Structure formats: C-alpha cells, structure tokens
Amino acid sequence: MVEENDTAPRERCIGCGALVSAITLPTHAYIDASPGCWHTYREVLAKQMGYITYRRIRQLTVDAYAAQHPGATERRPRQSIEVHLLSLYFLVEEWLDPRLATHRISQMLTERREFPRLIPPSTLGDITVHDVISATNQADQTARVEEWANSVWSAWSVHHRAVRDWLR
C-alpha cells in the first residue's frame, strides 16, 4: 500500500486530471492513467472484493475508471472506450443487471471489427476514483460510485447518440 501524506510529491493524473501521488509503479497497457491514480483504482477494487453483493458497483467502478482514462488512438483503447461507454449506458440509463449488460456487449463485439475514435470530452467528470477511496463503508462507497459513474456518463454526453446508435 502506498502511504498518502501532505508532504509527498503530487502530480495530475494524465487521464482524469486528479491530483495523485507522484509514484513509480506499473500501470495499464493502454489506459492512460498515472501510477498514483492506477494504484488508487486498484485499492478501490480490492476494497470491493470484501462486499459479496457488489457486482453492479464493481462494474460501474471499472467502467467509470476506463471511460475517465480513455487512452490512445489505436484499436484496443478505441474498443475499450466503446465497451465501457456501452456498459455505462446499460447500467446508468437502462439499469440492466451487469451480467445481462456484459452478455449484450459480448454479442455486439462478435459482429464488430471497427471501433470509431471518439474524441474525449474536455472534462471527463468532476468525480474520480479519489473521491471513492475514502468511503467509510459499503453504503458510502455505493453512493459515491453511483455518483461517479453518473458524472462520467454525463461528461461523455456529446457521444450519447453514437453509443445509442451502436445498439442498432
């Protein structure tokens, strides 16, 4: 675990823009996140492992984080954004069960080989994983993740029509 303190060097995450610990650790292959932000995300996921009935919140966490750290222009990041925005649509707009959302996305991916490059919005949401990490219990974390996912989904509103069109 990386200890946070007031004197530790800080930097802006290259993805979400949050102020994070300036540390050197491995990150994801194509998600644009600074090591301090990636580390915080992994801590949130680890915390969620302790909650048995957490499938929806865990999926929202993964989707919100990925959509807030869109990555480069090659195929894998483009596909990642498409998948996570579709999932946010299904979970935030349609309130589908995460298993059904994943199944519908998997079906779509068997038919798609081209993934459009969506230009990320100028802001990717006011809430980040750093607002979730300090949750004190399951109910608090649930509320924060729901708010975060809604914030990220709203930030991508310029592309909501494209996401809905992918479903046709």
Sign of CA dihedral 74, 81, 58, 5: positive
The residues facing 12 across adjacent strands are 19
Distance CA 160, CA 119 (A): 12
Q: What is the pLDDT along the chain (168 residues), one digit of tens a residue?
A: 444 455 679 999 999 999 999 999 888 888 999 999 999 999 999 989 877 678 899 999 999 999 999 987 788 888 899 999 999 999 999 999 999 999 999 988 887 777 788 999 999 999 999 999 999 988 999 999 999 999 999 999 999 999 999 887
How far is the CA of 151 from the CAs of 131, 155, 168, in angstroms? 12, 6, 25
- Residue ranges covered by each domain of the chain: 10-166
